[in-house]
């Protein structure tokens, strides 16, 4: 979608939307809240059915998934490619149904529900606190691994050292959806656990520079999903070697980190075999001042490639990450 105490203190979300709700929005909100209030096990039961529907019956983007997997894992046999594609669809369906469940985790009661579920566990909260405490601000670079839609609940995922980040000093970026209805519903859903905690950092990607400059003198944390194909055509983007392919990369988050002297961390978002996820924060640099944004992004993609080799199904393979000239 998405896709964060001292560190959680600085999570800031800006939702630029109309305050008035339409009847359609209210109805959909009600249905999603009703469904989301059901157990996590119920949602995972449905995920298995949805995965079968997408993969076995509708063949949803199956050609894109198989092509992406085959090009990314040239050493993999056809049978292994099919097995990983099938597992991917279950993973993808889980991200969708868990997102609905997550949207009902509102207020104090909802945050306790989220915490008690152990749906996500942070393996090294002390490292996150160290990076955040040692720099003016922190940039977290993440990707479409794990369940990227659950990032808004980050302050509830530490079962060791409490996080220093606060919901009112953390920002996440998003890509605006064309439908105003779904744009609002997704915003409400992704920020459900922190909406009543001063979270105002849900920022459209085109507005992030202005937002960051207006908060440059505050202790703040940012999360960017930055593995997509570049949004803006006509720009000259650097290429990196990623999954055996030349890959255009966006450098805006790394450039912002360099400009504002942020620490930079990569978010490793693994799937647990028993269900749920692990977050691990891997340092890229303690202070990006004077660093080359392209080098930062090369490190990011190197870490992401390691993760995909470890869990090949754990990625958004339906996304056309590597486009042909004719598709631009």
Which DSSP letter does residue 7 get?
B
Q: What distance in Å separates the CA atoms of residue 279 and residue 120, rounded to the nearest whole number?
A: 7
d(CA 265, CA 252): 15
pLDDT for 20 equals 54
Q: Does residue 18 have a pLDDT over 50?
A: no
pLDDT at 12 over 50: no
Q: Are 69 and 77 in contact (CB under 8 A)?
A: no
Contacts of 130 (CB under 8 A, 6+ apart): none
Question: What integer is the mean pLDDT of 163-172?
Answer: 93
Residue 274 burial by CB count (10 A; 0-12/13-18/19+): exposed, middle or buried? exposed
Of the two residues 119 and 323, the one the predictor is more confident about is 119
What's the pLDDT at 327?
53
Q: Band of the pLDDT at 2, cuts 50, 70, 90?
A: very low
**Does the pLDDT of residue 28 top 90, yes or no?**
no
Low-confidence winner among 15-24, 38-47, 131-140, 272-281 (lowest mean pLDDT) = 15-24
Mean pLDDT, rounded, of the chain:
91
Least confidently predicted of 173-187, 289-303, 313-327: 313-327
**Quick one: pLDDT at residue 279?**
98
Predicted pLDDT at 14: 38
- What integer is the mean pLDDT of 276-300? 97
Predicted TM-score (pTM) above 0.75: yes
230 compared with 18, residue with greater pLDDT = 230
Q: Look at 238 and 17; give whichever has higher pLDDT.
A: 238
Contact 163, 128 (CB under 8 A): yes
- Kindly give, in sequence order, each residue whose CB lies less than 8 Å from that of residue 208, ignoring residues fewer than 6 positions away: 171, 173, 222, 252, 256
pLDDT at residue 89 in the model: 98
Contact 140, 224 (CB under 8 A): yes
Please, which residues have CB within 8 angstroms of residue 177's CB and are 6 or more apart in sequence? 183, 186
In the three-class reduction of DSSP (H, G, I as helix; E, B as strand; rest coil), residue 153 is classed as: helix
Mean predicted confidence (pLDDT) in 228-239: 82
Strand 263-271 to 239-242 pairing: unpaired
- Residue 218, helix vs strand vs coil: coil
Backbone dihedral angles phi then psi of residue 151, each to the nearest 5 degrees: -65, -25
Q: How high is the pLDDT of residue 79?
A: 98
pLDDT score for 235: 75
Residues 48-95 pLDDT 10s: 999 999 999 999 999 999 999 999 999 999 999 999 999 999 999 999
Q: What pLDDT score does 6 carry?
A: 46
When computed from its CA atoms, the radius of gyration of the chain, rounded to whole angstroms, is 19
Inter-residue contact 186 to 1 (CB < 8 Å) = yes
Per-residue confidence band for 114, with pLDDT thresholds at 50, 70 and 90:
very high
Q: Which residues pair with 122 in a beta bridge?
A: 279
User: How does residue 23 score in pLDDT terms, banded at 50, 70 and 90?
Assistant: confident
Q: How far apart are CA 245 and CA 290, in angstroms?
A: 28
| Phi, psi (degrees; rounded to nearest 5) at 201 | -105, 30
Domain boundaries, the chain: 23-323
Residues 6+ apart with CB under 8 A from 108: none
129-149: pLDDT as tens digits = 999 999 999 999 999 999 999
Q: What is the mean pLDDT of residues 104-111?
A: 96
Q: Which two tokens stand for residue 256?
A: 């912002």
Which residues, listed in sequence order, are joined to residue 280 by a DSSP beta bridge? 268
């Amino acid at each position: 979608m998405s896709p964060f105490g001292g560190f959680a203190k600085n999570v800031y979300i800006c939702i630029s939307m109309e305050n008035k709700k339409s009847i359609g929005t209210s109805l959909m909100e009600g249905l999603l809240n009703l469904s989301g209030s059901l157990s996590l096990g119920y949602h995972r039961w449905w995920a298995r059915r949805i995965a079968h529907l997408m993969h076995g019956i509708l063949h949803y983007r199956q050609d894109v998934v198989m092509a992406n997997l085959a090009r990314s894992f040239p050493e993999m046999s056809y049978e292994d490619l099919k097995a990983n594609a099938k597992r991917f669809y279950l993973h993808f369906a889980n991200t969708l149904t868990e997102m609905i469940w997550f949207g009902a985790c509102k207020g104090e009661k909802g945050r306790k529900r989220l915490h008690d579920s152990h749906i996500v566990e942070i393996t090294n909260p002390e490292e996150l606190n160290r990076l955040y405490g040692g720099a003016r601000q922190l940039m977290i670079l993440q990707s479409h691994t794990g369940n990227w839609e659950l990032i808004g609940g980050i302050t509830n995922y530490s079962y060791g050292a409490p996080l220093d980040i606060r919901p009112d000093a953390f920002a996440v970026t998003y890509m605006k959806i064309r439908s105003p209805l779904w744009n609002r519903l997704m915003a409400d859903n992704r920020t459900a656990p922190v909406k009543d905690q001063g979270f105002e950092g849900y920022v459209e990607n085109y507005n992030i520079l202005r937002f960051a400059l207006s908060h440059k003198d505050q202790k703040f944390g940012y999360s960017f999903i930055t593995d997509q194909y570049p949004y803006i055509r006509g720009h000259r983007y650097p290429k990196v070697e990623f999954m055996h392919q030349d890959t255009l990369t966006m450098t805006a988050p790394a450039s912002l980190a360099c400009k504002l002297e942020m620490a930079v961390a990569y978010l490793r978002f693994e799937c647990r075999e028993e269900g749920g996820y692990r977050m691990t924060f891997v340092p890229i640099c303690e202070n990006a001042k004077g660093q080359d944004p392209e080098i930062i992004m090369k490190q990011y993609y190197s870490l992401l490639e390691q993760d995909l080799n470890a869990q090949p199904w754990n990625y958004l393979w339906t996304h056309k990450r590597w486009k042909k000239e004719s598709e631009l």
